Structure 1
Amino acid sequence: MPVVELKVDRNLVCSDFSGYKLAFDSVPVLRQELGCDAYVLDPSSNQFSLLHTELFARHNHLVADPWMRHCSYFFNKRHQLVQCNYDLQTGRARAQRVVLTVDYRDQGDGELHRSGDYNYTIVFVSERFCVICDGITSYHLVDTGDRTRTDVQEWQRITRSPVNNNSGHRGFALFDARLDVLQERKQISLVAGHVARRDAVGQDQTHVYYMDLTWARWTHSPTNDEWSYNICQRLETTGSVHYCAFEPRAESLVIASNRDVQTPEERRAADEAAAARLNSSGDHDGQLENGGPPSYSWSQTDNNVLIRFNVPSTASAKEFNVSGSKTTVVVKHLDEVIFDEELYASVGDDLSAFKLAENGLELSLTKAEIQNWPRLFAQKKDDVAEEVHPMEAPPLPIPSLQDPVEECDLISADEEMKMVRFNLTSGCITHTIFLGPPPLVLTTTLRPGFPAAFATRQGVDASIWLQMYQPSRPDEWSVRHEGQLHAFGYVQASKVVRKFTVCSPDLDYVAICDPVRYVLVYFPANNSADGLRRRNGPPVTLGKQKLITLGNEIDEILGITTANNLITVLSKKELIHLQV
């Protein structure tokens, strides 16, 4: 499987960038009250997994039109799609108007929206078409007409199709949709996700939540002017989906996640292999089941003693019980005593400091007196091999107290991000990009009709990448360095409380939106900083930072869109335009 490298264009990197300076320039703010509150669904009491939380918390309820970035859309409580248009010539917001009303009762099951359904998701695929997922079971293909016209016009629904009736799932979120013309036929590719649950293999978990992705297509027939719908592929991942987009011509799907992406067949084969290993190891995995004493080793420092037991890989921490006194230790596995010995010297009263690690069960004891034990037991035992290994001191949580602790420093190395390209023809993953532990900085649409761009952290900067596809060589795939947000990787890592991270199409600015009141806007353009220079060095280059306070009346920020020199923010009762 080819591994694609992220090749940074050095011409886009500013090595002399010194940071951002707070600017006190006023930002014009235009407010519009909503005729009807925005429609927002929260997770139900049964949707408590991390995937559910991310799906609802990261949902952007305000969607920009890629062909008209100053025009945004949202759904209100009446299930109406509302258009919010900003006039670039006058610098004023036009009156909001309803362009479509979704008949949410027509789901094929005769039921209304209920607890546990997902929010509406919208993707514009061309100048005349958009796809709406109602958050329940259906896609809606809509003919928008000429969206550049300012007169009143109603959008028309062309067709409606269930996402996947065979899955039995209710609640879908549309991740991406793409329109291509192949052999004089229009083809719309769609991918939607549902957070599902299945039984786990093993004793540590009872069930596993995973993202079930459904890849489908609409194909237009010129003869009868009808759209046929068919499901192409299903994919699964237990990790978070940070990026999901089609490449041009939609022959492959690109997904970024912190866990492996598999087909249902691959996952079932892996589960069967894991179950077979558990069954085969049940008879000989360690000596606990055979009634014999488990093998162990021990190590010590001046203050502590660590005893390591080799236990079955299927054992869980709940199956063990540790008791005893200051001089004795008794370890039980289920109802069987596997260790009952008198120690060389006294230890502390706390015998609960045990955990299951990769190399077995670890029991940590605190010595009553600082001394070196020549052996573990009070009496020398010839039939027990005692091995003394120096116990490593625990590492410091911070390598240097002078270095700042950032979000990326607290991420486990096991949570490594990977971006994979799944090809439909071959039915497997053809390319992989290893992104490292930090998650993606942001995803955005830079140009209409192109796949979504994504940003990764490169040092202190954030690099913008865009997919590259060559129709003449479909087996090759790579990404191109499109732009650089100077020092923004460092800036975002310091913002713990944030909800949305967006940037303008021309990469002139990038914004971080808090859940409630604040929007921080950063302009990474290189400025001369009024002629300031480093001592015996080059001139200082600075970016500009603006802090915008939206007011206490904003209870929660539900969505945000960007255009050149414009940021639009949606709350439950108000729409705000920021002229940046």
Structure 2
Amino acid sequence: MAASNYSLKVNRELLDLNFESYRLSLDAIPTYNIELDAAVEEVQLKDTHYTLEHMRAFGMYNYLHRDPWYEDSVLFVDCKGRVLNLTVTLDTALGKPREVYRMAEPGQCQDRLCASLSLTSATWAALSDGGGRLQLLRTGKRGDGAHAKWEPLFTEDMGQPFTILHSVSHVQPGVQAGVHTVEVLLLHLQKDPQDSKGSGYSVCLEWVTVANAAGPGEERKYAVRKRRVLRGKSVPHYAAVAPQGKGLMLASDKPFIFTHVDGIPVEQPEPEPMEVEKTDPIYFWQQTEEDVTVCVRMPEGVTRDDVQFQLTADHLSLGLQGFPPLLEGQLYASVDPDASAWVFKDQKSLELMLQKRSEGPVWPELVMGDRRGEFVMSDEQAALLHERLTHLTSEDLNGNPDKDKPPCNSQELEDCDGFPEDSSSLTHFDGETLRPTQVVNLGSHQFLFTVDVDPAEMPCLCLRHDVDALVWQPRPDRPGHMWEHVATFNALGYVQASKRDRKFATCAPDFSFASLCECLRRCFLYRQPSPLETQLVNRKQGRQVGQVAKQQVASLDSDRPILGFRASSERLFVLTASNLFVLKVNNN
């Protein structure tokens, strides 16, 4: 796995440092209930499949799909093998979901999964029957109101059951101009006989390229042109193919590597040493519970006027005028810029004092992904650490001084109890070399959800930064700025962590609101701050409040588990086994 070589650059203009909280609004959300003619096809996991990775991949699958090309249009598959579509134009005149395609009877499959659907383009879709069969369907323009049936132009048995994670469609340029190509990303879990300590399964991603024949009159003949296989040990939080099939992007707790191309094993490169030659650190740093002290070596003859220094709550830039920055990037945690300062020390080094915004947490690194510094631990810190870890090396089985508590038996731990050996990362793989080009160490940035915003772009990913939730738009055509911060949901990172029964999360494509749903019945809506008609006054601080962010709660009239959850700019769609609920959120 490549070392982290990139950091996410937060757009400070999209952060609201004065945000206080969400105000609970008792305004009712208009909710419309559509009873389904047949139940949604929900596949229950078998007892042998109740590993953590099976639950992440299939037990938490979102059965509802929003069409990003057509507003307020959703699709799902029912138990009869029908692909059903509901397009809302008027809430008070909702009809039944209409059938757009019916799958053939699936064959006997012992480990059958749920059917999955990916809308490839405005006129194409990829469909899995859950039994191992992949179909590419020409749908026509789905949003023109026509009731044309979808036409299958490619069907192939991929050998084992899978779900579709993502797909894109494009036309080849250059020599193969006019060749229509579909890139499909598949996920399945395989028994791993070499895994003696984990769950016994490995996660397999298969990147399949399907294209039509280039000859005249053969435009309707589609075949698999290339198959690439990646393997890892955790189900990715995010996985998508770049436009034109030029790359692949993954966010996962553990690394993935390409193992096969068209059935031929990929020669794995020799692991590169982290340091080719021993170099002296360019800075040293220490920390306490309250602050961080950094000492940066400076060239001879440097004066204060030569120093260029910029510090925000979570970003540091330090360098000399006319030269690239010596130290630049996102800080591991937030600091207070007003309480931080720097001074020259003996004209040979610069000493920087950073005041932590939150006391207590220990920073494992100063700047995310920067390995050119050396952490220096004081004698007091070493003694305290030794005291805290003494019980781990005690000869007594129960080193815990609380004798009433039983000792911990590591053999009783489940997969979900262990701390991941590899830190969570966001990786971009080049489509030609299959090598990682940009790697972001996500660290404490918890992954929240994926959302389709612009159908011409890759899906966005939402990460927790401190208490906020930040939405990032991948830009694979901009190597220097591959992930762009496009929206912020204030305090959503903190809010979602308090929802113990949370199942799905999403947001509107125009970022006007974010929403969470629980496993049963309840949905929570968090609106962006909006101006007030009359200004309010904060009694504690004595300042005027010009805008308020609202929280709303909707309780569905159903006792069935929520199986699907999607949002458009105006509506929320909630799917259960027997009902499809439409919640009117905005009246634009």
Q: TM-score, normalised by structure 1?
A: 0.71
Whichever of the two has the greater Rg, that structure is: 1
Structure 2 unpaired stretches of 5+: 270-384, 412-416
Distance verdict in 2 for CA 1:191–1:300, change over 3 Å: closer
1:94 is the counterpart of 2:95: yes
Judge conservation of contact 1:416–1:437 (CA < 8 Å) in 2: no
Distance verdict in 2 for CA 1:182–1:230, change over 3 Å: closer
Equivalent residue for 2:40, pick from 35, 38, 58: 38
Q: Distance in 1 between matches of 2:31 and 2:443?
A: 39
1:28 is the counterpart of 2:22: no
Distance verdict in 2 for CA 1:531–1:186, change over 3 Å: same
How far does residue 349 in structure 1 lie from its aligned partner after superposition? 11
Q: Distance in 2 between matches of 1:539 and 1:352?
A: 53
Equivalent residue for 1:429, pick from 436, 439, 456: 436
Q: Which residue of 2 aligns with 1:548?
A: 554
**1:96 partner amino acid:** P
Three-state SS of the structure 2 residue aligned to 1:264 is: strand
How far does residue 102 in structure 1 lie from its aligned partner after superposition? 0.4
Q: Which residue of 2 aligns with 1:77?
A: 79
Equivalent residue for 2:250, pick from 247, 250, 255: 255
Q: Which residue of 1 aligns with 2:529?
A: 525
Equivalent residue for 1:237, pick from 213, 217, 232: 232
1:11 is the counterpart of 2:13: yes
**1:205 partner amino acid:** K
Q: Which residue of 2 aligns with 1:509?
A: 513
How far does residue 558 in structure 1 lie from its aligned partner after superposition? 1.0
How far does residue 52 in structure 1 lie from its aligned partner after superposition? 0.5
1:558 is the counterpart of 2:563: yes
Three-state SS of the structure 1 residue aligned to 2:510 is: coil
**1:221 partner amino acid:** A
Q: Which residue of 2 aligns with 1:487?
A: 491
Q: Distance in 2 between matches of 1:27 and 1:479?
A: 34
How far does residue 246 in structure 1 lie from its aligned partner after superposition? 1.2
Q: Distance in 2 between matches of 1:102 and 1:24?
A: 44
Structure 1 unpaired stretches of 5+: 106-110, 271-298, 310-320, 324-346, 358-409
Q: Distance in 2 between matches of 1:206 and 1:10?
A: 41
Q: Which residue of 2 aligns with 1:60?
A: 62
Equivalent residue for 1:124, pick from 119, 138, 141: 119
Three-state SS of the structure 2 residue aligned to 1:559 is: strand
1:133 is the counterpart of 2:128: yes
Q: Which residue of 1 aligns with 2:193?
A: 199
Q: Which residue of 2 aligns with 1:388?
A: none
How far does residue 527 in structure 1 lie from its aligned partner after superposition? 3.7
Q: Which residue of 2 aligns with 1:220?
A: 212
How far does residue 353 in structure 1 lie from its aligned partner after superposition? 4.8
Q: Distance in 1 between matches of 2:207 and 2:464?
A: 29
Three-state SS of the structure 1 residue aligned to 2:56 is: helix
- Identity among equivalent positions (%) equals 20
How far does residue 422 in structure 1 lie from its aligned partner after superposition? 1.5
**2:93 partner amino acid:** R
Distance verdict in 2 for CA 1:305–1:17, change over 3 Å: closer
Three-state SS of the structure 2 residue aligned to 1:54 is: helix
Q: Distance in 2 between matches of 1:305 and 1:548?
A: 48
Q: Which residue of 2 aligns with 1:104?
A: 105
Q: Distance in 1 between matches of 2:40 and 2:77?
A: 6
1:468 is the counterpart of 2:468: no
Q: Distance in 1 between matches of 2:448 and 2:403?
A: 48
How far does residue 414 in structure 1 lie from its aligned partner after superposition? 4.8
Give a deviation string over 1:427-481, Cα, whole Å, max 9, x none. 22111011113431111000113211001111211110011133xx7x6561111
How far does residue 146 in structure 1 lie from its aligned partner after superposition? 2.2
Q: Distance in 2 between matches of 1:193 and 1:306?
A: 40
Judge conservation of contact 1:423–1:429 (CA < 8 Å) in 2: yes
Counterpart mapping for 1:377-396 below 5 A: none
Q: Which residue of 2 aligns with 1:278?
A: none
Q: Distance in 1 between matches of 2:563 and 2:52?
A: 20
Q: Which residue of 2 aligns with 1:142?
A: 137
Q: TM-score, normalised by structure 2?
A: 0.70
Equivalent residue for 1:187, pick from 173, 178, 181: 181
Q: Which residue of 1 aligns with 2:202?
A: 210
Distance verdict in 2 for CA 1:525–1:267, change over 3 Å: farther
Q: Which residue of 1 aligns with 2:584?
A: 579
Distance verdict in 2 for CA 1:142–1:26, change over 3 Å: same
How far does residue 231 in structure 1 lie from its aligned partner after superposition? 3.3
Q: Which residue of 2 aligns with 1:288?
A: none
Give a deviation string over 1:147-200, Cα, whole Å, max 9, x none. 12324321111111233x4xxxx2101111011122222111111011112123
Judge conservation of contact 2:51–2:199 (CA < 8 Å) in 1: no
Q: Distance in 1 between matches of 2:427 and 2:232?
A: 12
Judge conservation of contact 2:566–2:573 (CA < 8 Å) in 1: yes
Q: Distance in 1 between matches of 2:386 and 2:507?
A: 54
Three-state SS of the structure 2 residue aligned to 1:87 is: coil
**1:6 partner amino acid:** L
**1:217 partner amino acid:** T
Q: Which residue of 1 aligns with 2:455?
A: 448
Judge conservation of contact 1:200–1:206 (CA < 8 Å) in 2: no
Q: Distance in 1 between matches of 2:531 and 2:386?
A: 58
Give a deviation string over 1:539-573, Cα, whole Å, max 9, x none. 3643111100102x331111122111111111111
Q: Distance in 2 between matches of 1:458 and 1:215?
A: 31
**2:207 partner amino acid:** W
Counterpart mapping for 1:193-342 below 5 A: 193-200=187-194, 205=197, 208-222=200-214, 223=216, 224-225=218-219, 226-264=221-259
Three-state SS of the structure 2 residue aligned to 1:490 is: helix
**Superposition RMSD in Å:** 3.4
**2:212 partner amino acid:** H
- Runs of 4+ in structure 1 displaced over 6 angstroms? 265-270, 347-352, 354-357
Q: Which residue of 2 aligns with 1:318?
A: none
Q: Distance in 1 between matches of 2:534 and 2:402?
A: 65
Q: Distance in 1 between matches of 2:543 and 2:550?
A: 22
How far does residue 531 in structure 1 lie from its aligned partner after superposition? 2.3
